[in-house]
Structures are given as structure tokens and as C-alpha cells.
């Protein structure tokens, strides 16, 4: 969606409210309900259902939020018009003020303004990034790819040991050349550095990306764009524990709190390359496992109930973890030698297509 | 220090122990004492004093640590010989095993291996990075700089919105071209993105770097190298609170826990550009301050006692913070308009050389 279209959507929101005012009606905004009661697993991704709530101006419980929604919509409109971006915190500070002749503030805490941004995303069906609001940044990427970003041509294959720092907003990035047979997404930076140093991405013709923990929105969107626009399989590589597996599921299906944008930041075709509990036997890693904590077991039990972990292979892994009470980190592979991950583990998994869905 | 020299130091450590064994002496290693009792503020940086401890092989309380020290020294030697790098966690997994005919492990937890790496740093007077052990990565940089890293030529002025992701190890990086009048180090990524989008570094001819919170070792070393090898002033820009000010002091003087390497990762010439509590009045930011928490006040009181915060200007700021019970974030500047930081705040501070030492 182009910048102009997003600006138009914001303008129309304002127009509709103006119309209501002219007609003497109670101005309102329709906002799809977020929250678990309205989250559906489509089989492909987590999606929002069709429950909608109305927010009225003349309503004791709604008036303040109504005002806040319009303030933020107007702020985003001017960001887009000026062609600049802001963080959520910058926005909060910029909009925070005391209303004339009152002791009432527009916003007291950022916890008030953040959810309204999501309301707007849902209502207008746009991404926060398209509203020019930047999210957290995290993640780095290397590979045989040339992009254009802000007028610069950037070759991801020529960035030394550092790689390209993934920005919060990858909407305007243009792919000029994408050469690779798959995308390898690694949870941890240490494993990324190992693979990068061993030139794994050159040898195996892939794009190598680390999310550095839970994937930030910029990284998720970048994975999706690369995968969908260039028809590349995505293999996700995390610790063998519920936290790591959940990182995978968020990349693939989206998350519950951002269910309304799963189709724009999820990558349903992604596959899980490892680590699994079964890998511990397959690759003889038992000397380097860790005892699972109570919280891990609890989380694994919860995840067994999630629809998107219902596949028998996942149920098997989750059960195995609970039964054996163990987990393993990516670094466990270093127990077998530092280059075991590069030379044995990953090539074996890819060659035998030993993935989890 | 070249790779060969570091390898030689490790070899000599081994040789000395061999000599002792041949002579029938109790093999030992001399390790400078770390910890507060041996940390001295030199006026320029935090330094280690000259207290030394001896670690013996035939000593009930030392034997295990002695063995661990040699295991790690030998591991680092082979990393250097092979020309590869590892994370501390990878090293732990790689060295963890059960000693033959016993139930004793070489290491049970990473908390045992980490401090021994620091012991080796201190003993050999080398950096962890020179032992080929990678640290956490964090931080990004842009500017009119061309570097060479792992055979790639990287132009920091042509990396789009992302910038160059600072790796954990910047020892082997070569500066080919460095054009700039100063280095601006920003604590927070949001401020970095604002300044980058506004092309601050182009207009003001500077190198722009964000540490993304407390500066990682790679970022600190990069700041030092840029500043010392190219004689550039460094201005540090953090939140106006004890946490932000401490980030500044770590960049400038080093930290207590890494006092033994302050001369290799500290930048004593660094200056503090803001935010100060005084800035709140100077720039009319009082609408966007935050009430200081008890923990902030307590921390400020502690910092008032640190020798490296004894300068009257710092004492004044710390007192002011305690007295008024407020703090302010970088984003507070957005209260005055999103571009206030780019167009007014920073240019004014630089023009009037309004820095704290």
C-alpha cells in the first residue's frame, strides 16, 4: 500500500466523523475487537474475527479514548505528509499536553497511547509502519542480496562481520537482486556469527538472518517480503525449548496480540529446522542438554493446547520434552565441535528435509 | 596487538607451567586481583591496582580452577590457530565434559567459565576479543566512513535506514576513510533513527552511533578506535537519569567490572552533551519530565560518591536531580516538536560547547 493510500484512509476517517457532526449525530469510530475472544486460527495464521466495537464521542466511558484516537490519527497524518517517522514514545511525548482550561491531560502514560495505535492499525487495516510509527529494532542479515533503501544501494554480501542492521521499517525497501535458495532464520546472534564466519550462506546459497531473540516487527516483515516476493523457503533455527519454538510460531503464524496483521508479518510457509528434542538423540547431544525448569514444562503444556501446535510432530516433541524434562540450546551443538553446526547439523537437516511443519 | 603475539602469550603461559613441572615445583599462575578492593580511578579511567593472587595446581581450593584456566587457555589457543571465533556460551559447551574415571565435570555452569576468561584477559593483558571470544552485540553506526572488514569494503554512508550492525569484535577492522568532525553517540535507537532520517550526520559532518542501551564491548572499542586513531571528539547523548549518565561514564572511563581493560575500551576524551537536568530549564522541557523513582534517587546518591563524578558540574546535576526529584528521557525533546532535537537542541549544545566533562 502506497503512502498516499494510507493518508487517504486517515483523511476518510476524519471526513466520516465530520459528516456525523454535520448531521447532528453522535460521532463514532468502528474498531474491530482485539483480544483472545476475537482471535481465530485460520489454519495458516492467527487472524482477527469479525467482532466490532463502536467508540462514541458523547459517551462518558468513550469520550477520552475517542479524543485520543483522533489525536493519534491526526499525528500520523502529519508524519505521512511530512515524510518523517517517529517512535511510539516520541509520539506520546509529542501529543502529551494539558487540555486548555482543565487539569486533564491528553495522555498521562504511554500505556494509553500504544493500544490506540493498534486500534488504528485494525480499523484502517494498515501497518503501524505505514502510519510512520517505528517499532523496536533488532536483527541483522547477510546474503547474496542487493537492496535499495533511502536512495542507497546496499549489498548484503559485502558487509564484513557485522551484516546489515534491520531497521524498524522495511516497507519502502526495494529488492534489486535476490540470489539464494532459502532463508535461514537463526534465533541467536552467536549462532549467526558462527555461520557467518564459516561462510555458510555462501556455500549453501542462502540468506542468513538473526532475529536476536523474539523477532521484531521489522525482521518479521522482512522475512515475509523476502520469502513471498522471491518465493524462498524459510527455515527457522531456535533453541530446543518452548520459548524458542514460540519464536518460530510467531514468525510463521503471527502472534495473538498482533493477530490483525498476521497476513502482513507472518510467513505461513516457514518450516522449523531445529533444534528438536529428537535431534538430541539423532545428533548425540545428550551431554549438553539442560534440565527443563518448571516454567518450561508449564509453557510446553500450554502450547500443546494451541491449535497451531496440534500437528502430531509438534505434539510429539512437546510431549517428549515434558516426559524427559530436558531442553537444549543452539550452543549445545558446539559440544560436538565448533563447526558441527555448519558442517554436519544444518547440512544433514536440509539434505534430509528433516523439518517440522 | 597481532594475532601472533596473543598466541605467543598463551604459549608462554603454558611453557612456564611446563618449566615448573620439570623442576618439580608446584605449578602456578599469577592473576591480578579484580574486584573493588583493587580498582583505582586514575583520573582518566578506572584501572586495576597491582594486587596479584597466585593460583596453584597442588592446592585443594585452587586445583579445579587451575585446570579450568588451562583448559580455556588451550581452547583460545586453538581458536586463534584455526582463525575462528566463539561465544562464551559456545566455549562453555565445547569444554564441558566429565573427567575420565570420575563424576567430576570440567565445568558445571557457564558462571564458572566466564570469570576465568576475565582472569586470562588480566593475566595476559589481552582483550577477550583478541582471544577470539565474542561478546554480546548491540549498536549501529552511520557516517562518512569507509572500512574494510573480512575483506569487504563497507561505506557507512550508504547503508540506507539500517546502518552498519556493529559486530562483537572490531579488532581487525581497518579504517580506509574517516571524514567527520566528531562522533555523536546516542543511547537510544529511536533518537538515532530520528537523527539519521533528518540526515543530521551529513549536515553536521559527524559519525552517528547508537549503543542501544548500555554499550556493548564492540561499540565501546569502536568508539575508542575511531576517536583515538582519527583524533575525533566524542559527544555522548543519553537520557537525563542516573542510568543514562552511567552509560556515559562507562564509555568514558570504563566500568568497575572491566577495569583491567579500560585503557583499551574507554574513551577518556568523551564529553557529555546531554540531557542534563539543567537542560530541562534551558530548553523548556518541564512539561515532559518524569517523576524520579526511589531507585533513581538512591543511584544518584551513590554516583555522587564516585570519584569520576566528583566534578562540580556533575555534582550539581546529581544534586539537582535529587532535589527536584525528576528525570527526563531523550524523547522529552519530541514534546517541542519531532525535529527539535535535530534542529535546535543538538546544534545549540554543540555551538555553545555546552558539555559536561
Q: Do B160 and B112 fall within a single domain?
A: no
User: Per the CB < 8 Å rule, is B97 touching A137?
Assistant: no
User: Per the CB < 8 Å rule, is A160 touching B168?
Assistant: no
Spatial distance between the Cα atoms of A312 and A352, rounded to a whole number of angstroms: 19
Is residue A30 predicted with pLDDT exceeding 90? Answer: yes
Q: Do A167 and A31 fall within a single domain?
A: no
Q: Do A158 and A128 fall within a single domain?
A: no
Chain A touched by B78 (CB under 8 Å): no
Minimal-distance CA residue of chain B relative to A157: B152
Residues of A in contact with B197 (CB under 8 A): 84-85
Instruction: Indicate the residue of A90, A97, A149 with minimum beta-carbon distance to B334.
Output: A90
Long-range Cβ contacts of A262-266 (<8 Å, 24+ apart): A262/A45, A262/A46, A262/A47, A263/A45, A263/A47, A264/A127, A264/A221, A264/A224, A265/A127, A265/A217, A265/A220, A265/A221, A265/A224, A266/A44, A266/A45, A266/A46, A266/A220, A266/A224
Spatial distance between the Cα atoms of B170 and B149, rounded to a whole number of angstroms: 8
- What pLDDT sits at residue A42? 86
Minimal-distance CA residue of chain B relative to A85: B194
- What pLDDT sits at residue A13? 97
Q: Do A240 and A109 fall within a single domain?
A: no
The residues near A15 (Cβ < 8 Å, ≥ 6 apart) are: none
User: Per the CB < 8 Å rule, is A84 touching B334?
Assistant: no
Minimal-distance CA residue of chain B relative to A140: B165
Minimal-distance CA residue of chain A relative to B139: A165
Per-residue model confidence as pLDDT tens digits over A71-121: 999 999 999 999 999 999 999 999 999 999 998 999 999 999 999 999 999
Distance from CA of A310 to the nearest CA of B (A): 33
Is residue A151 predicted with pLDDT exceeding 80? Answer: yes
> Would residue B96 count as lying in a domain?
yes
Q: Do B77 and B154 fall within a single domain?
A: no
Structural domain ending residue among the three candidates A99, A134, A169: A134
> What percent of chain A shows pLDDT beyond 70?
100
Structural domain ending residue among the three candidates A111, A134, A157: A134
Q: Do A146 and A202 fall within a single domain?
A: yes
> What percent of chain A shows pLDDT beyond 90?
84
> Would residue B357 count as lying in a domain?
no
> Would residue B244 count as lying in a domain?
yes
Residues of B in contact with A147 (CB under 8 A): 160
Instruction: Indicate the residue of A94, A150, A194 with minimum beta-carbon distance to B335.
Output: A94
Mutate to test the interface with A, among B88, B160, B163, B216 (most CBs of A within 10 A): B160
Where residue A110 sits, what CATH number does that domain have? 1.10.10.10
Cβ atoms within 10 A of the Cβ of A98, count? 11
> Would residue A188 count as lying in a domain?
yes
Q: Do B336 and B235 fall within a single domain?
A: yes
Contact by Cβ (8 Å): A49, A88 = no
Residues of B in contact with A219 (CB under 8 A): none
**ipTM metric:** 0.82
Q: Do A188 and A274 fall within a single domain?
A: yes
User: Per the CB < 8 Å rule, is B147 touching A160?
Assistant: yes
Q: Do B130 and B13 fall within a single domain?
A: yes
Q: How many CA atoms lie within 13 A of B290 on its CB side?
A: 20
Cβ atoms within 10 A of the Cβ of A320, count? 17
> Would residue A357 count as lying in a domain?
no
Structural domain ending residue among the three candidates A101, A117, A134: A134
Q: Do A247 and A114 fall within a single domain?
A: no
> Would residue A245 count as lying in a domain?
yes
C-alpha cell belonging to residue A120: 488504528
- CA-based nearest residue to A94, from B335, B85, B165: B335
Is residue A1 predicted with pLDDT exceeding 80? Answer: no
User: Per the CB < 8 Å rule, is B158 touching A154?
Assistant: yes
- What pLDDT sits at residue B1? 65
Under the phi-then-psi rule, with left for phi > 0, alpha for psi from -120 to 50, and beta for the rest, what region is B169?
beta
- What pLDDT sits at residue B36? 81
The mean per-residue pLDDT over the stretch A14-26 comes to 97
User: Per the CB < 8 Å rule, is A85 touching B193?
Assistant: yes
> Would residue B99 count as lying in a domain?
yes
Per-residue model confidence as pLDDT tens digits over A162-204: 889 898 889 889 999 999 999 999 999 999 999 999 999 999 9
Question: From the candidates A56, A93, A235, A243, which is the catalytic residue?
Answer: A93
Is residue A219 predicted with pLDDT exceeding 90? Answer: yes
The B residues from 317 to 336 touching A (CB cutoff 8 Å) are: 329, 331-335
Distance from CA of B149 to the nearest CA of A (A): 5
Under the phi-then-psi rule, with left for phi > 0, alpha for psi from -120 to 50, and beta for the rest, what region is A183?
beta
C-alpha cell belonging to residue A102: 482543565
The B residues from 122 to 181 touching A (CB cutoff 8 Å) are: 134, 136-137, 140, 147-154, 158-169, 173
Range of the domain at B324: 140-351
Residues of A in contact with B97 (CB under 8 A): 287
Chain A touched by B339 (CB under 8 Å): yes
Report the predicted TM-score, pTM, of the whole model to 2 decimal places. Answer: 0.86
Instruction: Indicate the residue of A153, A194, A333 with minimum beta-carbon distance to B158.
Output: A153
Question: From the candidates B93, B243, B246, B253, which is the catalytic residue?
Answer: B93
Q: State which residues of chain B have pLDDT below 50.
A: none
Where residue A319 sits, what CATH number does that domain have? 3.40.1360.10
Minimal-distance CA residue of chain A relative to B86: A194
Q: Do B86 and B154 fall within a single domain?
A: no
User: Per the CB < 8 Å rule, is A154 touching B166?
Assistant: no
Q: Where are the beta strands (DSSP E) in chain A?
A: 28-32, 39-41, 46-48, 52-56, 86-87, 133-134, 140-142, 144-149, 152-155, 164-165, 174-179, 182-186, 206-210, 234-237, 271-274, 290-291, 326-327
Is A93 noted as a catalytic residue in this protein?
Answer: yes
- Cis check for the bond before B275: say yes or no (omega within 30 of 0): yes
- What pLDDT sits at residue A256? 85
Domain total of chain B = 2
> Would residue B205 count as lying in a domain?
yes
Residues of A in contact with B93 (CB under 8 A): 288, 329, 331-335
User: Per the CB < 8 Å rule, is A161 touching B147?
Assistant: no
Q: Do B42 and B161 fall within a single domain?
A: no
Amino acid at each position: 500500500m502506497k503512502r498516499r493510500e494510507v493518508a487517504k484512509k486517515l483523511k476518510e476517517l476524519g471526513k466520516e466523523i465530520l459528516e456525523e457532526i454535520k448531521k447532528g449525530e453522535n460521532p463514532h469510530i468502528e474498531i474491530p475487537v482485539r483480544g483472545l475472544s476475537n482471535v481465530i486460527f485460520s489454519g495458516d495464521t492467527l487472524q482477527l474475527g469479525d467482532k466490532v466495537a463502536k467508540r462514541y464521542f458523547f459517551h462518558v466511558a468513550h469520550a477520552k479514548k475517542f479524543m485520543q484516537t483522533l489525536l493519534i490519527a491526526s499525528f500520523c497524518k502529519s508524519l505521512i505528509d511530512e515524510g518523517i517517522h517517529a517512535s511510539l514514545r516520541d509520539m506520546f511525548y509529542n501529543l502529551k499536553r494539558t487540555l486548555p482550561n482543565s487539569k486533564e491531560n491528553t495522555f498521562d502514560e504511554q500505556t494509553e497511547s500504544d493500544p490506540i495505535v493498534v486500534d488504528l492499525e485494525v480499523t484502517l487495516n494498515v501497518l503501524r509502519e505505514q502510519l510512520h510509527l517505528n517499532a523496536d529494532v533488532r536483527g541483522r542479515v547477510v546474503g547474496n542480496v542487493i537492496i535499495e533503501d533511502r536512495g542507497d544501494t546496499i549489498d548484503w554480501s559485502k558487509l564484513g562481520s557485522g551484516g546489515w542492521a534491520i531497521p524498524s521499517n522495511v516497507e519502502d525497501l526495494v529488492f534489486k537482486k535476490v540470489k539464494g535458495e532459502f532463508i535461514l532464520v537463526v534465533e541467536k546472534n552467536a549462532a549467526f556469527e558462527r555461520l557467518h564466519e564459516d561462510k555458510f550462506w555462501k556455500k549453501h546459497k542462502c540468506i542468513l538472518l538473526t532475529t536476536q531473540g523474539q523477532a521484531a516487527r521489522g525482521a518479521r516483515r522482512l522475512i515475509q517480503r523476502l520469502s513471498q516476493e522471491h518465493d524462498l523457503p524459510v527455515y527457522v533455527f531456535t533453541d530446543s525449548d518452548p520459548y524458542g519454538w514460540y519464536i518460530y510460531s510467531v514468525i510463521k503464524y503471527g502472534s495473538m496480540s498482533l493477530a490483525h496483521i498476521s497476513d502482513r508479518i507472518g510467513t505461513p510457509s516457514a518450516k522449523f529446522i531445529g533444534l528438536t528434542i529428537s535431534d538430541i538423540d539423532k545428533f548425540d547431544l545428550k551431554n549438553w542438554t539442560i534440565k527443563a525448569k518448571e516454567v518450561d514444562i508449564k509453557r510446553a503444556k500450554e502450547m500443546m493446547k494451541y491449535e497451531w501446535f496440534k500437528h502430531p510432530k509438534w505434539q510429539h516433541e512437546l510431549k517428549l520434552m515434558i516426559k524427559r524434562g530436558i531442553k537444549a540450546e543452539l550452543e549445545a551443538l558446539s559440544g560436538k565441535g565448533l563447526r558441527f553446526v555448519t558442517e554436519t547439523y544444518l547440512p544433514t537437516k536440509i539434505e534430509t528435509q528433516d523439518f517440522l511443519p
